Amino acid sequence: MFLTLASGVFGPFTDIQALHGISLTIAIASSFLIWSGRGHKPQSSWAAKVGISVSTLTALWSLFTVPMVLIQAHMISNGAPYCIAEHA
C-alpha cells in the first residue's frame, strides 16, 4: 500500500491506481495467510480465499479492459494509425 501512495506523488492519483494497489496488497496479505498454517503446512482460511478471489477478479477485469481500450481507440481513429489525437 505504501508504494501505491508513493506513486501518487509522482503523477495524478486515480481511483484505478488505488484499486490496483489495494488489490495487490490484499493478494499479498492473503498469500501470507495461506502459508501461515500450523506446522509450516499451508492452510487456507476463508479470509485468504476471499482475498485471493477479490484480487483475481480485479486482475481479470484489468486484463479484459485492454482489448476494450484498443477497440475503442481503433473506432475513434477510424482505422487510421496515429490518428487518435486528431479525433479525441
Measured from the Cβ of residue 23, the count of other Cβ atoms closer than 10 Å reads: 20
Range of the domain at 67: 2-87
**Confidence tier at 27 by pLDDT (50, 70, 90):** confident
Measured from the Cβ of residue 33, the count of other Cβ atoms closer than 10 Å reads: 20
Residue type, 45: S
Measured from the Cβ of residue 51, the count of other Cβ atoms closer than 10 Å reads: 23
Helix, strand, coil tally for the chain in percent (to 5): 75, 0, 25
Res 86 pLDDT > 60: no
**Residue 88: what pLDDT?**
53
Res 87 pLDDT > 60: no
Residues 31-63 have pLDDT tens digits of 888 877 777 777 778 888 888 888 889 889 888
Residues 4-18 have pLDDT tens digits of 667 677 777 778 778
Q: Is 66 buried (19+), middle (13-18) or exposed (0-12) by CB count in 10 A?
A: exposed
Under 8 Å between Cβ of 86 and 75: no
Instruction: Give the count of domains, the chain.
Output: 1
Dist. CA 58–CA 15, nearest whole Å: 13
